Amino acid sequence: MSLDDDDLRAMMQAVRKFAESELAPHAQERDENKHFPVDVLARAGELGLGGIYISEEHGGAELPRTVSVRLFEELARGDVALAAYISIHNMVAWMVDSFATDEVREEWLPELAGMEKLASYCLTEPDAGSDAAALRTTAVLDGDEYVLNGVKQFISGAGSTHVYLVMARTGDDGPRGITAFLVPGDSPGLSFGANERKMGWNAQPTRQVILDGVRIPARLRLGEEGDGFGIAMRGLNGGRLNIAACSLGGASWAVERASTHLRERIAFGKPLSAQQALQFRLADMETSLEASRCLLDRAATALDNGAPDAVKLCAMAKQFVTDHCFDAANAALQLHGGYGYLSEYGVERVVRDLRVHQILEGTNEIMRLIVSRSVLEG
């Protein structure tokens, strides 16, 4: 889809309005009650947010990554945890659109695009996180079905979603022995662990996914046997940009709040905003936000264009943006003094939600590993 400036402005406005009116007002409540609001997600689907970059043919918006990072920044200003789940859902939808057969795409994509059906991405295992290629879940072909056995760890949305994109071993050790499968949520033998108690991201559940002799038709395999690790990583390139964009949205909201607080709070006979030390802190925070926006746009452009350095740039952007935006949000909390520590101000929730972005979709140490490998290998 090619968007002209007017279309883009209208879409951004609609998403901003959705974030302000549907996400922000109940974000605190969802965090406290650990509530995953499938009704709100269905409304996001009506806005086209379930298939942001899947083909128009299958109900998607087919937008470039340069636009999607801006959409996720807007969404995260309303609720970081829900925006991040929408990103994971879109990552799976893109993988189905890019690597499933036409029959499977027709079967799943329209409802995924509308967010009537929700998706989870299952790579991590209890003993294989950063070293994802060490995963041990197996898939064995039996006639025209695959039989899956294993445990996936930390799966976002698990237990509340309708389809699980599972990376499993069909061949030898290492990345070349891995294959990707779509596992319907109602498959016999599929079960879920308890909802993990977490520091943040409380508006979406995180559970183990347990596969005990789960049988799925062979047509639900994505790509060929052995393609799964590459498919999983290609999904993550865009996912890493969106997670970073969610950090940017959360941090930019928190920085705005801090700026308002500095102007309103009087201490030592004048507003806190008159203190140059605090003005300079605010300046550094704002610079972090703008540098993050630039690097995200640069990496998204590289991904859209299939540039040879796109993987490196996505890793660089994920590490830089999630680290700097966490620091900016944490500084916003500090500038609120004791009020920053109170949940009713919302800033502490944003800090808690942003913290995990330095860990998931590849830790920031792994992002540095990807960047340094690319520098050293030339």
Q: Give catalytic residue positions.
A: 361
Number of residues in contact with ligand 2MC under rule CB under 6 A: 22
Q: Residue 301 binds which entry of ligand FAD, ligand 2MC, none, with Cβ cut-offs from 5 to 8 Å by kind?
A: none
Q: How many CB atoms lie within 10 A of CB 378?
A: 4
Scan residues 133-152 and list those touching ligand 2MC (CB under 6 A). 133
Scan residues 302-361 and list those touching ligand 2MC (CB under 6 A). 311, 360-361
**368 near 212, Cβ under 8 Å?**
no
Nearest to 79 by CA among 130, 137, 139, 15: 15
Burial class (CB in 10 A: 0-12, 13-18, 19+), 308: exposed
Judged by CB under 6 A, the residue of 18, 53, 121, 229 near ligand FAD is 121
Q: Min. distance of Cβ 365 from ligand FAD in angstroms?
A: 3
Nearest to 184 by CA among 120, 123, 88: 120
Q: Residue 122 binds which entry of ligand 2MC, ligand FAD, none, with Cβ cut-offs from 5 to 8 Å by kind?
A: ligand FAD
| Cα-based distances in Å from 268 to 65, 93, 265, 286 | 47, 55, 10, 25
Q: Min. distance of Cβ 206 from ligand FAD in angstroms?
A: 5
Determine how β-strand 138-142 pairs with β-strand 119-122.
unpaired
Binding pattern for the stretch 235-264 against ligand 2MC, x by CB under 6 A and - elsewhere = -xx---------------------------
**Main-chain phi, psi angles of 191, to 5 degrees:** -145, 175
> Any contact of residue 226 with ligand 2MC (CB under 6 A)?
no
> Any contact of residue 124 with ligand FAD (CB under 6 A)?
yes
- Beta strands in the chain, from DSSP E residues, in sequence order: 119-122, 138-142, 145-156, 163-169, 178-184, 190-192, 206-217, 221-222, 266-267, 270-271
CA dihedral 210, 214, 217, 219 (to 10 degrees): 30
Judged by CB under 6 A, the residue of 66, 90, 124, 160 near ligand 2MC is 124
> Any contact of residue 322 with ligand FAD (CB under 6 A)?
no
> Any contact of residue 211 with ligand 2MC (CB under 6 A)?
no
Q: Which helix (H) or strand (E) holds 215?
A: strand 206-217
Residues 43, 236: Cα–Cα separation, whole Å: 25
> Any contact of residue 201 with ligand FAD (CB under 6 A)?
yes
3-state class of 208 per DSSP? strand
Judged by CB under 6 A, the residue of 15, 80, 132, 317 near ligand 2MC is 132
Q: Using alpha carbons only, give the angle 89, 94, 100 rounded to the nearest 5 degrees.
A: 115
Nearer to ligand FAD, 94 or 154 (CB): 154
> Any contact of residue 157 with ligand 2MC (CB under 6 A)?
no
> Any contact of residue 104 with ligand 2MC (CB under 6 A)?
no
Scan residues 150-189 and list those touching ligand FAD (CB under 6 A). 154-156
Nearer to ligand FAD, 50 or 362 (CB): 362
**133 near 174, Cβ under 8 Å?**
yes
> Any contact of residue 123 with ligand 2MC (CB under 6 A)?
yes
Residues 7, 77: Cα–Cα separation, whole Å: 21
Judged by CB under 6 A, the residue of 130, 191, 260, 305 near ligand 2MC is 130
Q: Which span (49-57, 115-123, 169-177, 268-276) binds ligand FAD, by CB under 6 A?
A: 115-123
Judged by CB under 6 A, the residue of 175, 223, 226, 271 near ligand 2MC is 175
Q: Residue 204 binds which entry of ligand FAD, ligand 2MC, none, with Cβ cut-offs from 5 to 8 Å by kind?
A: none
Nearest to 364 by CA among 319, 329, 321, 324: 319
3-state class of 132 per DSSP? helix
**109 near 96, Cβ under 8 Å?**
yes
> Any contact of residue 163 with ligand 2MC (CB under 6 A)?
no
> Any contact of residue 112 with ligand 2MC (CB under 6 A)?
no
Determine how β-strand 145-156 pairs with β-strand 206-217.
antiparallel
> Any contact of residue 363 with ligand FAD (CB under 6 A)?
yes
Nearer to ligand 2MC, 64 or 175 (CB): 175
Sign of CA dihedral 36, 99, 110, 64: positive
Per CB under 6 A, residues contacting ligand FAD are 88, 120-124, 129-130, 154-156, 198, 201, 206, 356, 359-363, 365-366, 369
